[in-house]
Amino acid sequence: MLSQKLQDAMNEQMKNEFFSAYLYKAMAAYFEAEDLPGFAHWMRMQVLEEMCHGEKFFNYLCEVGGRAVMLAIDAPQADYESPLEVFEYSLKHEQFVSERINQLMTLAKQEGNHATEIFLQWFVTEQVEEEASFGLELKKIKRLAGDGRGLLMLDRELGQRTFAPPTGMNITGV
């Protein structure tokens, strides 16, 4: 059973996860407009990952007898100066998400809600991977220092990213 405070915080985080998907979809659109299909593909794979994260929160809330509430999502930033700016912004966003997950974990611990702590542990670990992934691509972009040929090579590399939903995750909701 979730306290109202924890349920509200979990719903807010579910919204944040779906916002992340919306944000990365906007970034994919930016990359498409910039003729960088590999970058766009990489962001589309990130969209799928974030949708799974939101679904995990939705499913957990339902499983523990809570109420999943679909909160309003603001429009994400859509225009950027460069791929560098996109990945700098993305890394900051993932750091924000990590902070929110940590706050949720603290709340679950304070309330002695061990089931929610166990659920959130997956997200704590996932956020380490998310920050590392965005950080790595950001470092690659910085190394290019505006070299268009290098950007095209990285675009090709990013286009190879694949996505596999977490084990047991049904992203269709059916």
Per-residue pLDDT 10s for the chain (174 aa) are 899 999 999 999 999 999 999 999 999 999 999 999 999 999 999 999 999 999 999 999 999 999 999 999 999 999 999 999 999 999 999 999 999 999 999 999 999 999 999 999 999 999 999 999 999 999 999 999 878 888 899 989 999 998 888 877 665 554
Cα 170 from chain centre: 17
Which single residue is written with the structure tokens 């991977």? 129
Tell me the domain boundaries of the chain: 4-158
pTM of this structure: 0.91
Residue pair 90/21 in contact (Cβ under 8 Å)? The answer is: no
Domain range 4-158, its CATH number among 1.20.1260.10, 1.10.1740.10, 3.40.50.720, 3.90.1150.10: 1.20.1260.10
